[in-house]
Amino acid sequence: MDKKILADFLVKAKLNTYAASGENNDKIFPNGSKIFKFEEKKIKYQDRYFGFNPFIGEEIVWKSGKIIWGMNYYGKIISKEVSEKQIYQFLREALKKITKNSPFRGPDSFKRKDLKYFNQVNGDIKNFMGKEKIFYNNKLTYILTYHGGFIKIKDNSNKFSRE
C-alpha cells in the first residue's frame, strides 16, 4: 500500500476513534479489552487496548481483508500531581493534532497551561519506534512507548473478522 494513502487513512481513523471519544467507548469485551474501529472503502482500522493506568494496546490496519500495518503501545501515568482525567483529556487534545508526516500519535510538541506534551519518533510509517511524554509543571507525569510498521503475512489466515 502506498505510504501517503496509509498516512492519510491513519489520520482520519485516529481522529474518529480514541482522540474523538476517549473512554466513552461503552463496549468492553469479555476479555477486558476496549476496541475502536474505523473503516473507509476497503481499508479497516482497529485499536484494541487493555487497562486504564497502565494500559497496553495495538492498532491494526487491513486492506481488502489482509493485515498490512500495525502498532503496539504501552503507557502509564507516573505522578499523582494531576488527575488521570486531566491527563487523558489533555492527551486526547494532543492526539487530535496528529500529522500526516508522523501518523502514529500526536505532534512533536503541544502545550496547554501547565501541561506539555512531547513526542519523539525514529523511522517512518514502514518501521518506527517512538515515545511520548506529558509533563505537568515541568515534572514527568505520563509516558508511552510505541513501535510498529508494515506487516506481511504469508497465508490467508489473517482475514478481518467482526467481533
Q: Where are the domains of the chain?
A: 3-150
Q: What is the mean pLDDT of the chain?
A: 91
State how far the Cα of 29 lies from the Cα of 158, in Å rounded to an integer. 21
pLDDT digits (tens, 9 = 90+) for 105-163: 999 999 999 999 999 999 999 999 999 999 999 999 999 999 999 998 876 555 555 44
Select from 43, 53, 122, 119 the least CA-distant residue to 82.
53
So what's the pLDDT on residue 65? 92
State how far the Cα of 60 lies from the Cα of 71, in Å rounded to an integer. 7
So what's the pLDDT on residue 25? 55
- The H or E element spanning position 18 is helix 18-21
Q: What is the 3-state secondary structure (H, E, C) of 73-125?
A: EEEEECCCCCCHHHHHHHHHHHHCCCECCECCCCCCEEEECCEEEEEEEEEEC
So what's the pLDDT on residue 100? 94
pLDDT digits (tens, 9 = 90+) for 88-119: 999 999 999 999 999 999 999 999 999 999 99
**Mean pLDDT value across residues 54-75:** 96
So what's the pLDDT on residue 31? 80
The answer on pLDDT for 41 being more than 60 is yes
So what's the pLDDT on residue 85? 92
**Mean pLDDT value across residues 48-70:** 95
pLDDT digits (tens, 9 = 90+) for 2-39: 999 999 999 999 999 888 776 655 567 778 889 999 99
Return all residues near 162 (Cβ < 8 A) that are at least 6 apart: none
Record the cell numbers describing residue 151, joined without a space: 506487516
So what's the pLDDT on residue 156? 55
Cis? peptide before 103, omega within 30° of 0: no
Record the cell numbers describing residue 114, joined without a space: 501547565
